[in-house]
Amino acid sequence: MAKKKESKQKKMTTRVDFTPMVDMMMLLITFFMLVGSLQKPQAMHLTMPAKDENMQAEDKDKSKTENTITLYLAADNKLYYYIVDKKEDFGNPEFLQETTWGKEGIREVLRNHRHAPTKVLMDARTQLDSWFNNLPKSQQELNDSVYNRALIMIKKGHVDIVENGQLNKAKYDKVDKDMKNYEETNMVPTLAVNIKPLDNSNYDNLVTILDEMQICCIGKYVIDKINDKDLPILEGNGINIQ
Amino acid sequence: MGKIKIKKNDVWIDMTPMSDVMVLLLTFFMLSVNFTKNEVVKVITPGSTTMAKVSSSAVLDITIDPEGRVLMSTDKTITMQKALDQMLKDRETNLTPEQKQEIINFNQIGIPVKSMPDFLTKSHEDQVKLIKVTGIPTDSLQNREDKMSEFQLWVKAMKNGYKEWYNDLSDAEKTEVSATKLEINIKADKATPYSAVKLVIAELQDINESRYKLVTQAKKLEE
């Protein structure tokens, strides 16, 4: 019989080599980095009028001519705008002006429109934003619907619901009760935008201009077709429509 | 001169902190990743400053490439299966279950239904090429009273497919599904001509679809 050894605990080094583990991690990270995109795409809502010929004609005439601006998106990223004071003037090629994209161009035009500047609305929105952002986090969730509704009111011209960076709750409630029929003298005029992309413009132009509508707080805009009335304006300025 | 004795050092590097960092990074990537679907035709969407995100379920993606070709995909395979069955019936084309699966595996519908049997006889490379140059036809079909185009039929079939799937769910399952209807996402390339987008929107309006989401990339607002 073998001699029984005295059980002596051998001291083992408990160091584990992590290098293979790190290698594997690296591989996994590389996989996840390549396979996915970090950013989720943004969605822009677009509602087109249902096809109903009779309704459209009536709706178009609702906005006053002087509060309207027509935008033509043309080939080679060109952008033109058309403002007339009187309905009779529509069709006169002289009133067409060219502008550029972005902050210095089209946004300035919309901000400083002669009769319905969106500057006022944008300022009101800034105030609404500051009110909302200064609320404590718990309050923000509760007031989310109020914020959205107030934004709609501002877009309709009820800029007096905000004052000095605060929401005037009394006025908000008053408008809220009867938004459709609420008419007060201090409602500011709002701009109506006719967006008319030519067939040779590109999709990027369309999305950029729709985005500009959001930035400039414009509630009334429509994507419209080029019709007979637009043709003399475009042809008179030598703009290629095909 | 005495010999310089090089002392043998133990070069063991402790990898534990490294692996800690790796685990952290890995967790970050795993949580934040959105798997991009392997689509045949990819487009570069324009940028916008909107904050709303595209929903990840119950969507019907309509892709319009720079040449104006239209392709369609949806997030649920079952919706696509049902839609494909419906379309095959409508267009009087027959496919075996394996062939159907092959079509669905592309994730994107981009060829006319009538040409599907012929399409399946080709090699994979040729199929991919074909999808890239064909697209779903948007002109109205002959011999149809309602003058619908194949594109419109697809939209309707997809919507029905989703509805069928939704109606088959039990009440308990229904509460977990947020959307009762398919949402239409229009995903066009920056360089897609407006005329192509106009055509798609007009066809959608024809079948009373007037709400869409335009898929865009995040862009910073210049101030």
Residue A62: band (very low, low, confident or very high) from pLDDT cuts 50, 70, 90: low
Domain map (residue ranges) of chain B:
47-218
Give the mutation candidate from B194, B195, B220 for the A interface (greatest A CB count, under 10 A).
B194
Residue A11 lies in a domain: no
User: Is some CB atom of chain A closer than 8 A to the CB atom of B32?
Assistant: yes
Instruction: State how far residue B181 is from chain A, nearest Cα, in angstroms.
Output: 16
Which DSSP string corresponds to B133-172? H-----SBPTT-TT--BHHHHHHHHHHHHHHHHHHTS-HH
Q: Per the confidence metrics, is the pTM higher than 0.90?
A: no
Angstrom distance (rounded) from CA B136 to CA B117: 15
Instruction: State how far residue B39 is from chain A, nearest Cα, in angstroms.
Output: 13
Residue A108 makes CB contacts below 8 A (sequence gap 6+) with none
Buried/exposed A32-67: b ≥16 CB within 10 Å, e otherwise: beeeeeeeebbbbebeeeeeeeeeeeeeeeebebbb
Do the bridges between strand A78-82 and strand A68-74 make them parallel or antiparallel, or are there none, so unpaired?
Answer: antiparallel
Angstrom distance (rounded) from CA A34 to CA B36: 10
Q: Assign residue A225 the CATH number of its domain.
A: 3.30.420.270
Smallest Cβ–Cβ distance between A44 and the set B25, B35, B50 belongs to B50
What is the extent of the structural domain holding A142? 119-177
User: Is some CB atom of chain B closer than 8 A to the CB atom of A130?
Assistant: no
Tokens of B76: 């649920």
Q: At what angle do helices A19-35 and B16-32 cross, to 10 degrees?
A: 20
Residue A213 lies in a domain: yes
User: Is some CB atom of chain B closer than 8 A to the CB atom of A32?
Assistant: yes
The structural domain count of chain A equals 2
Residue A46 lies in a domain: no
Residue A57 lies in a domain: no
CB B117 within 8 A of CB B93: yes
pLDDT tens track, chain B, 223 positions: 566 777 777 777 888 888 889 899 889 888 887 776 777 888 888 888 888 888 878 889 999 999 889 999 988 888 999 999 998 988 888 888 888 888 888 888 888 888 888 888 888 888 888 888 888 888 877 777 777 888 999 999 999 999 999 888 888 888 888 788 889 999 999 999 999 999 999 999 888 888 899 999 888 877 6
Please state, for a pLDDT cut of 90, what percent of chain A lies above it.
5
Angstrom distance (rounded) from CA A109 to CA A71: 11
ipTM of the complex: 0.81
What CA–CA distances, in Å, run from A214 to A163, A196, A209, B127? 22, 17, 9, 42
Would you tell me how many other CB atoms lie within 10 Å of the CB of residue A222? Answer: 15
Angstrom distance (rounded) from CA A167 to CA A176: 13
Residue A33 lies in a domain: no
User: Is some CB atom of chain A closer than 8 A to the CB atom of B96?
Assistant: no
CB B61 within 8 A of CB B49: no
Angstrom distance (rounded) from CA B77 to CA B58: 11
Flag whether pLDDT at A1 surpasses 60.
no
Mean pLDDT across A39-59: 70
pLDDT for position A56? 52
Of B194, B215, B223, B164, the residue nearest B48 (C-alpha): B215
